[in-house]
Amino acid sequence: MGYIVVQGFLLSGLYALIAVGFTMIFSVGRVLNLAYGVYIMLGGYAYYFAAQVLGMPKTVAFLFAVLTGISFGVLTYLVLVKRLQHDPIAVEISTLILAVVMQSLVILVFSAAPKSMWPLIPGALHYEDLSITNNILLAMVVSWVVLGGLVLFVHKTHIGRAIRAVSMDRKGAIVSGIDPQRINLITWAISGALGAIAGVFLATYTQLTPDMWVAPLIIAVAVVIVGGIGSIIGSLVAAHIIGFMETITTTLITPELRGVFTMLLIITVLVAAPKGLFGKEDL
Amino acid sequence: MARAGLRKALAGWAGFGILMCLLPLVVSTGTLRIFIFANFLAMFAMSWDILSGRTGYISFGHPFLIGIAGYTTAMLTYHLDVSLMLSIPAAVIAAMLAGTLFFVPALRTRGTYFALVTLAFMELLYGLTQVVQPKLTGGTRGLSGLPAVVSGAVPNYYLSFLVMFVIGISLWLIVRTRIGTALSAIRMDEDAVKSTGLNTTKLKLFAFMVSAAVAGVAGALYVHYLGSIAPRGIFEVNFLFTILVAALLGGAETIIGPIIGAYFLTFLLEFLRPYIPGTGRYFIYGLVALVLYYYAPKGLYGILAALLGRLKPDRPGT
């Protein structure tokens, strides 16, 4: 029981981080970035390459991963999405193709074999019969720090308010002198960074594989759908619903069924309440 | 198009059919096997096209329909020794029932959300086949040693080509009717179609059923051609990707486009085989798809049509 509570919170923090990076792009640009999972995968591989192949210090490797995520996010927007953004379906399809291209590139460079990552902080905490690895604890702390920082950034800074303005009313934002292209670019950079951070932790939590973008993408989609598009609170609540559901399924039933309940939840929510729990958007 | 245009196009279909029927006389068995895969991919891509290319309800879950059909016939023949004459029609019916399940979200959601639900359907089945009743589905390893409809490269080639050809020409004729036009109109503006008094629900259901039936026929035959089925091969993103890319690259909404796209992609993949091993080929393949999709959203069909239009300057190009 204690295990479920602790593990559930740890996993949910990570899921919230994954989902927020994904939902930001949607709420600002009104497009779904199906290549979002790639930032997660690239973050993981960049960290692996820097720390375990080149032998750089962990902090440098972590920064390298974040920079990789940012550059790839910016590139996706500039090269691919900017020209197609009036057509959401075209963006979905092209980012899906991009994701498969990047997966194949990673296979060509690193081979398809799964790699195991060293934990960022080795060891584990023990409390009575519970034991939590330091790594996953760090993942949760970083997730919450990043999420908290993001909320502050979005509410307190000028650029953050501009991001919110564009997501609320694009035309109104333009009239007030905000350049939506620039805001979009910033959003994609943030999204890339969030994805890469989540990727480093996800890879140390599970394994590093070239197809590790699919599951997090689906988690992100699930969180956003259940929580409602464009709602950060909704995403946090939904991340905990899904995180706990998966932890309970994994510990009490079987790990393989984990995704099944998540899918059932997505289908149910989409069919019964397409706006999600906290969504204002109507698509 | 005028009646003369129809006659010309039908002559084109006939010419294509005759040419492809003569193919086994000239090419090796190895090449023929590649053509068999191309034929199957063409069927899958056309099934996607009649639903997504036509109505704009983008399906990211086509492997779900194919998988339902494939598993139905695989389990019937493997466990119960049901004859193929019964199991394949049963698979098609199962795919169509699955298609109605697919249809439910289309009543409520559009665009992006619909694409995501279909993706969820695919992932759901991927999870279920591995865990629920592994004795029936074969679990992660799937089922193998399934009976073949016909054996040998040449008979299989004819079977796959003829089925593909019949499906192709039927779908092509369907989309030329007023139903096809109405379905296209749904993609452009569903509310406008509704306001003209047409029943969009029935129209969409029709597109879903046709698509599911084609996916069912193709999926069942494909599984028996391979002789095996496993969740990894069917519910993989790469498989979905190949279907989608074949349809888009060839030219969505045209039925002929997906056939062109399927042949092009299958041969591109084979051409790359000696240079890049394994799934790394998808890198080139995806890059080609991405560039073509970016610069020529109407696909190869659009490029060919533009070229043909330029050859005949007296007529405005189509």
Cβ neighbour number for residue B110 with a 10 Å cutoff: 16
For position B317, what pLDDT does the model report? 43
Using DSSP's 3-state secondary structure scheme, residue B109 falls into coil
**B145 is in which domain, residue-wise?**
33-235
Among partner residues B113, B124, B290, which is closest to A98 by beta-carbon distance? B290
pLDDT band at B293 (very low <50, low <70, confident <90, very high): confident
**B111–A88 CB contact, under 8 Å:** yes
For position B262, what pLDDT does the model report? 93
Evaluate if residue A106 carries a pLDDT over 80: yes
Whether B100 and chain A come into contact, CB under 8 Å, resolves to no
Q: Residue B173: which residues within 8 A CB-CB, separation 6 or more?
A: none
- Chain B, residues 274-313, CB within 8 A of chain A, namely 276, 278-283, 285-287, 289-290, 293-294, 297
Q: What is the DSSP string of chain A?
A: -HHHHHHHHHHHHHHHHHHHHHHHHHHHHS---TTHHHHHHHHHHHHHIIIIIS---HHHHHHHHHHHHHHHHHHIIIIIIHHHTT-HHHHHHHHHHHHHHHHHHHHHHH-SS-BPPPPSS-SEEEETTEEEEHHHHHHHHHHHHHHHHHHHHHHHSHHHHHHHHHHH-HHHHHHTT--HHHHHHHHHHHHHHHHHHHHHHHHHHS-B-TTTTHHHHHHHHHHHHHH-TT-HHHHHHHHHHHHHHHHHIIIII-GGGHHHHHHHHHHHHHHH-TTTTT-----
| Residue B262 resides in a domain | no
**A96–B244 CB contact, under 8 Å:** yes
Q: How far apart (Å, rounded) are the C-alpha atoms in residues A184 and A84?
A: 13
For position A62, what pLDDT does the model report? 92
pLDDT band at A283 (very low <50, low <70, confident <90, very high): very low
Evaluate if residue A168 carries a pLDDT over 60: yes
The pTM score is 0.87
Evaluate if residue A131 carries a pLDDT over 60: yes
Using DSSP's 3-state secondary structure scheme, residue B97 falls into helix
Question: What are the phi and psi torsion angles at B177 (to 5°)?
Answer: -80, 180
Q: How far is B82 from chain A (nearest CA, A)?
A: 30
Among partner residues B123, B287, B293, which is closest to A93 by beta-carbon distance? B293
| Residue B296 resides in a domain | no
Whether B51 and chain A come into contact, CB under 8 Å, resolves to no
The chain-wide mean pLDDT, for chain B, equals 86
**B105–A221 CB contact, under 8 Å:** no
Mean pLDDT of B71-77: 93
In angstroms, how far is CA B99 from the centroid of its own chain?
A: 14
**A225–B286 CB contact, under 8 Å:** no
pLDDT band at B121 (very low <50, low <70, confident <90, very high): confident
pLDDT in tens, A188-232: 999 999 999 999 998 888 888 888 888 888 888 888 888 877 677
pLDDT in tens, B3-30: 677 888 888 888 899 988 888 888 888 8
Evaluate if residue B313 carries a pLDDT over 60: no
The better pLDDT of the pair A166, B93 is held by B93
**B104–A271 CB contact, under 8 Å:** yes
Evaluate if residue B316 carries a pLDDT over 60: no
Among partner residues B56, B117, B128, which is closest to A266 by beta-carbon distance? B117
**B283–A101 CB contact, under 8 Å:** yes
The better pLDDT of the pair A276, A252 is held by A252
pLDDT band at B158 (very low <50, low <70, confident <90, very high): very high
Evaluate if residue A159 carries a pLDDT over 50: yes
| Residue B225 resides in a domain | yes
Mean pLDDT of B284-292: 85
Q: How far is B48 from chain A (nearest CA, A)?
A: 14
Nearest CA in chain A to B284: A101
| Residue B247 resides in a domain | no
**B245–A271 CB contact, under 8 Å:** no
| Residue B299 resides in a domain | no
| Residue B7 resides in a domain | no
For position A235, what pLDDT does the model report? 85
Number of domains in chain B: 1
Inter-chain contacts counted by CB atoms under 8 A, chains A and B: 125
Phi-psi region of B139 (alpha: psi -120 to 50; beta: other; left: phi over 0): left
Q: How far is B49 from chain A (nearest CA, A)?
A: 14
Q: Tokens 């047409």, residue? A: B198
| Residue B68 resides in a domain | yes
pLDDT in tens, A19-67: 888 888 888 888 888 899 999 999 999 999 998 889 888 889 999 999 9
pLDDT in tens, A169-192: 888 888 888 888 899 999 999 999
pLDDT band at A4 (very low <50, low <70, confident <90, very high): confident
For position A47, what pLDDT does the model report? 93
Q: Residue A178: which residues within 8 A CB-CB, separation 6 or more?
A: A162, A165, A166
| Residue B136 resides in a domain | yes
